A and B are shown apart, each in its own frame.
Chain A
Amino acid sequence: MAAVQETIDQVKKIDVDQYKYGFETKIESVRAPKGLDESTVRFISEKKGEPAWMLEWRLESYARWRNMTEPTWAKVSYPKIDFENLYYYSAPKGSEGPKSIEDVDPELLATYAKLGIPLKEQEILAGVQGARVAVDAVFDSVSVVTTFKEELAKAGVIFCPISEAIREHPELVKKYLGSVVPQGDNFYAALNSAVFSDGSFVYVPEGVRCPMELSTYFRINERNTGQFERTLIIADKGSYVSYLEGCTAPMRDEHQLHAAVVELVALDGAEIKYSTVQNWYPGDKDGKGGIYNFVTKRGDCRGHHSKISWTQVETGSAITWKYPSCILRGDHSRGEFYSIAISNGRQQVDSGTKMIHLGKNSSSRIISKGIAAGHSQNTYRGLVSAHRKATGARNFTNCDSLLIGDKCGAHTVPYIEAKNSSAHFEHEATTSKISDDMLFYCQQRGLSSEEAVALVVNGFVRDVLQQLPMEFMAETQKLIGVSLEGSVG
């Protein structure tokens, strides 16, 4: 079956030539010299006022990166990236050092206002009653402002730029940085470890439920730069945190590299909810310009009964290549992955997740929806594996893809590896299999099967999506509601 008209219209509304965040902020900036060698790494480290151990860590990563070759296995194609022709550090002038909101360049504030990001603490989100969100705004290579820091500190929650955490909380950073995504994990993670400039750091102490949503908003502005941010979130025993990430970039006719690393650690009984609205500039309709989004995101359910949940809405980037993953190390730990990836124009997506079951009775669920339109290629690639000791592991995977037009492609490449007889793995690609009982219930009450499916899909993604602090939220919700009719495995 082909896609229904409503879906086609919805996807058209977010086509590549409809990109709304493509404006550029004219602001003076300080950049590192072009190219990458040891001196670039030292330059960044010095700019950040980092201790010696951090510089050493960076240099070690750089040495490893030097010896690695670029991976080519993904179903994406792009001209070779010239790593010597990039700026690895760019910061708005005068933005160094800690700042209060009053000190921030008004030009920057205007930029974020235009993007719909509230940087003033008294502001609340439009349309979300009573919800407050603490925001860390990262502009090119630096964090320009972090809101609600004091109030969070009262609860014991540390929420600050990672460069500040390296200075203020070295014991935590030393203990956890690189413990989920090691320096030499892969080519882009090694590059990030060497040159990462900023990002967010979150520590939620034992037993604390973070009093508000935390959010980081990434903006690439400068020409010819790569953005390499690093996010580290630690949820100590029994704690809970919900974290949101948004990203946009100006429209340019050059490709820009975004190679981030996100590490999540959930200890006993902790829960981390990580949501992303990825809306980097996707390039124009002929594939000119756009961001290469090559990101390593991984969560470690280190403790028993811990839980990590990834939710992502992907509409941007010329190329998206990432697999937010969960290592389910603790017994009874749980990993979840909900994703909607929509590709238009000449966009290429090779994304999915990995659920690595190591602990007993660990469980995971993967729901992925890919929609390909225009000339785009949209690939779901995922791994579900159960280690020999992961007795009682459970996984349910459902990935649907939908094609709009005959010039695009939708592909599914799941890897399912069961090394344990008590592991129950189900990989389903038929829409009617979401839950027959639920569908039957809905249909019995007069909903069509399509409405029933949409309702069920909405049921588990909407609660996260409603929290998204962005103008994009409304559109996202509509997209989730798009009909599944005509979808294929």
Chain B
Amino acid sequence: MSIAQPIKAEAAGRPMTVQILKSKAETALAEAFADNEARLPGGDWLRQLRRAAIGAFTAEGLPHRRVEEWKFTDVRALMREAFPVALDANLPKPAALDALVRNALPGADLTEAFALFIDGRGAAQSGLSAISELDGAFLSQFVDHPPAWLETEVSDVSGHVGEATLALNTALFTDGAVIDIEKGREIETPIALIFADADKGARTVVTRNVVRVGAGAKIVLVECHLASEAARQANTLTQIVLGDGAEVVHVKLVASRAGSVHLGRTVARLGANASYRPFQLVSGDGLVRNDLSVTFRGQHSTFDLGAAALANRQGHFDTTLVVDHAVPHCTSRELVKYVLADKGRAVFQGKVIVRPDAQKTDGKQMAQALMLSPDAEFDSKPELEIYADDVVCGHGSTSAEIDPELIFYLRSRGIPLDEAQAMLVESFIGEAIDKAEPEAIQNALRGIARAWLAGEAHIKQG
């Protein structure tokens, strides 16, 4: 189930007949809640939400391959044990925090406006008070007595307890960013949300970000999840509401390391004439799942996703999105590119729903994988669910290795094999990275891709 309410025809008669056996990790997570409930932030309203969520999680368990949406990413099997929940962040010295922010995205300056989180707890922030309407940037500061809108937004998204990882986020989130942009404000400075860690032990880190962008406002949001020194199981949810005519560029970066798990989710709701342009870059060899749920609430809005993933060793990257065209005249675009080395595995599940009234919907989707190794795997499920008759919707999905003829061409012109391969991979992934904005950030992302390629110089002959 997605955040988008399923159409009735689908909801009818899909009982789960699979008997759920509690795994070690599931038991540990339920116990973590019971043991630490009193230490989790939030007033009564949140406590109730958390209890309902953990109840739903206990009933559902971690997602597994018999749950259609998790068919290719069996978290129950991949996450044998759950790490202890990080509650007391042992903060590094201020100089170390500064360095984290400066190096979060090499090649781009994120120091002007940022919020830094260490092990799921707000550690430092700067420049946000001039941007946000709120007196503070950390969600934990507000959850005891939240402004009405914040309570509504958090409750609304948390209400969808059917999705196990979302329920887990609601039950256990410790902190996150909260940003409220006044209508009409246009902010060019990128707003950075940086997630890092300090604790040397293995930890579960759960964060929730809430962003409200007023009518006609414009922002650039950059979410950086840095690779952990120690093993991390991160569960992070960013919920964004775009008012009429608002424009948001949302870059999300995940550097993943073997043994770590990143269960990320973005829930975006768009008003009329709004534009939401996310870009996601995932690299490394851990397990990453990015859920993205977009609902159009007003007409003539645009959703334009670009995503690139670079997997090596045992990297398992999953992009699952649900785009819900609930109103007419909206446009959605998705371009997702995967480069898979070693035993890298990519999963793409893209579901576009066009509801009965959503005439004149324009949807296009493309997912492509370039396989650099015979052991790589790509599973793709581009899905369309269309109930309106006057729409244009298309999707495509391809997978292949590097064309040997192209390699031959480049080599015949004196370019060494490694370089030729890197050039072709870069041009493949470049098409997606071109969608990232603004330019400084696009260049920084290209730098990350090049660095990954340089480390992957021994790619096997295509």
Contacts and interface: CB of A to CB of B under 8 A. Distances in A.
Interface of A: 1-3, 69, 72-73, 75, 77, 377, 388, 391, 401, 403-430, 433, 486, 488-489
Chain B's interface size range is: 35 or more
Given A409-B386, A411-B384, A425-B400, A488 B14 contact: no
Given A73-B14, A77-B13, A489-B394, A416 B380 contact: yes
A426 B398 contact: yes
A405 B380 contact: no
Contact of B394 (A413, A429, A486): A429
Interface stretch (B87-95, B233-241, B313-321, B366-374): B366-374
A488 B13 contact: no
Given A75-B9, A416-B399, A421 B373 contact: yes
Contacts of B378: 416-418
Interface in B67-88: 68
A489 B384 contact: yes
Given A412-B384, A416-B380, A425-B397, A72 B13 contact: yes
Interface in B374-405: 374-401
B394 A488 contact: yes
Nearest to B376: A421
Contacts of A2: 389-390
Given A413-B383, A421-B376, A429-B394, A403 B15 contact: no
B324 to A, nearest CB: 14
Contacts of B9: 75, 77, 377, 409
A426 B385 CA distance: 20
Contacts of B376: 421
Contacts of B10: 75
B374 A421 contact: yes
B152 to A, nearest CB: 32
A407 B387 CA distance: 7
B394 A414 contact: no
17 contacts: A388-B374, A403-B389, A404-B389, A406-B356, A409-B9, A412-B384, A416-B379, A421-B371, A421-B373, A421-B375, A421-B401, A422-B401, A433-B396, A488-B384, A488-B386, A488-B394, A489-B384
Contacts of A419: 377
Given A72-B15, A421-B374, A416 B381 contact: yes
B394 A430 contact: yes
Contacts of B15: 72
A425 B386 contact: no
A65 B400 CA distance: 41
B17 interface: yes
B380 A427 contact: yes
Nearest to A426: B398
B399 to A, nearest CB: 4
A424 B388 contact: no
A415 B351 CA distance: 12
Contact of A77 (B12, B384, B398): B12
A73 B68 CA distance: 9
B310 to A, nearest CB: 15
Contact of B400 (A75, A407, A408, A424): A424
User: Which of B15, B375, B395 is most buried by chain A, counting CB atoms within 10 A of its CB?
Assistant: B395
A410 B386 contact: yes
A427 B397 contact: yes
Contact of A425 (B17, B384, B385, B399): B399
A423 B390 contact: no
A423 B399 contact: yes
Contacts of B396: 426-430, 433, 489
A406 B388 contact: yes
A407 B391 CA distance: 14
Contact of B383 (A77, A408, A412, A421): A412
Contacts of A423: 399-400
Nearest to A430: B394
A415 B401 contact: no
Given A1-B390, A408-B389, A414-B381, A429 B14 contact: no
B385 A489 contact: no
A422 B400 CA distance: 6
B18 to A, nearest CB: 10
Given A404-B389, A406-B389, A489-B395, A421 B381 contact: no
A486 B17 CA distance: 39
A47 B391 CA distance: 55
Nearest to B68: A73
A23 B359 CA distance: 40
A326 B276 CA distance: 42
Q: Which 7 A-B pairs have the closest CB atoms?
A: A421-B371, A403-B389, A489-B394, A416-B380, A412-B384, A427-B397, A418-B399
Given A418-B378, A424-B399, A1 B392 contact: yes
Contacts of A69: 17
A63 B305 CA distance: 51
Nearest to B391: A488
B377 to A, nearest CB: 5
Nearest to A348: B9
A415 B379 contact: yes
B369 A409 contact: no
Nearest to A411: B385
B92 to A, nearest CB: 42
Contacts of B373: 421
User: Which of A77, A415, A418, A419 is most buried by chain B, counting CB atoms within 10 A of its CB?
Assistant: A418
A422 B377 CA distance: 11
A405 B371 CA distance: 42
A419 B379 CA distance: 8
A250 B39 CA distance: 69
Nearest to A421: B371
Given A1-B390, A429-B395, A72 B14 contact: yes
Nearest to A423: B399
Interface in B330-379: 340, 356, 359, 369, 371-379
A416 B383 CA distance: 11
B391 to A, nearest CB: 6
Nearest to B354: A488
A107 B259 CA distance: 73
